[in-house]
Amino acid sequence: MTDTNTQRIYLGTGGYSDTDLLGTLYPTGTKKTDFLREYAKRYGAVEINSTFYAPIGQKAFAGMVDKAYVQAKSELQFAVKLHQDFTHARKGSAEHALSFLTALTPLIEANCLAPLLLQFPHGFDRTRDNRLYLANLVSWFKDYPLAVEFRHASWHTPQVVDSFGEQGLIWCSVDYPKVNGLPPSRLIFTQRTGYLRMHGNNLNWWDAMSASDRHDYRYSEAEIQGWAQAIANQRQYFDCLYIFFQNTVNAHAFYNIAMLREALGSFGFEVL
């Protein structure tokens, strides 16, 4: 069994700009420009989601590094979600990938780049064309840790999971609401680095008017304990695990992270 002293679990949220976190994670009155500095004092990693919607340049990433490392004196790790052109529009190219990676230079040079995240939509099923597209896409980012989230159940097979292990890809485990059309929630490790996204269990997932509505859910103590136990049960399969709560609406994530931190600590993990 792996020495628990070498295992690190990073906790954080999907994005850091939700003003619902004012008064909890961020002291009341904190300016949005200071959110990241305050965030870096509390959590070990953050998932940058804004890159999914619009490109971010080197200057912006350099500013993030300055706020986290220089101002907050932290060692915050940045997971970065790839732009929707790669996953939803599916019109990515090698040139586009190079441009995306070039923008990440400040994170790479500061040694604070966590896995890149590819989050495919529910409509991306396991057809021959989609498998070929995925193979090309993965090749463009082959030098960087890549976590892939599939929302269509056709990918959730032992064959695909095994292929991830062979290709050096990180299976993005996800806690989905227990509704029809979404895969079952499972914790899977295909590399020594794991990635887990916590979406909550809002049963109105399909009818929600926005992402914040979809994630309006606070985990119970029993649910959090269940995940902590599931992680402890598989501790021999990972050295590093990133866990990102997407339910920042109504500060749910703030309370759930505190709960999970305590639960994981009881199992002897180093929690950042």
**pTM, two decimal places:** 0.96
Write the CB contacts of 149 (distance below 8 Å, at least 6 apart in sequence).
Answer: 117, 118, 119, 120, 172, 174, 197
Strand order in the sheet with 270-271: 45-48, 77-81, 113-119, 146-149, 170-175, 193-198, 240-245, 8-13, 270-271
pLDDT tens across the length of the chain (272 residues): 334 457 999 999 999 999 999 999 999 999 999 999 999 999 999 999 999 999 899 999 999 999 999 999 999 999 999 999 999 999 999 999 999 999 999 999 999 999 999 999 999 999 999 999 999 999 999 999 999 999 999 999 999 999 999 999 999 999 999 888 889 999 999 999 999 999 999 988 888 888 889 999 999 999 999 999 999 999 999 999 999 999 999 999 999 999 999 999 999 999 99
The domain spans of the chain are 4-271
Smallest Cα–Cα separation from 5: which of 269, 194, 266?
A: 269
pLDDT at 1: 34
pLDDT at 181: 86
**What count of residues does the chain have?**
272
* CATH number for region 4-271: 3.20.20.410
Write the CB contacts of 132 (distance below 8 Å, at least 6 apart in sequence).
Answer: none
Strands (E), the chain: 8-13, 45-48, 77-81, 113-119, 146-149, 170-175, 193-198, 240-245, 270-271
pLDDT at 204: 85
pLDDT at 115: 98
pLDDT at 259: 98
pLDDT at 18: 96
pLDDT at 205: 82
Q: Supply the Cα-derived Rg of the chain in whole angstroms.
A: 18
CB 222 within 8 Å of CB 175: no
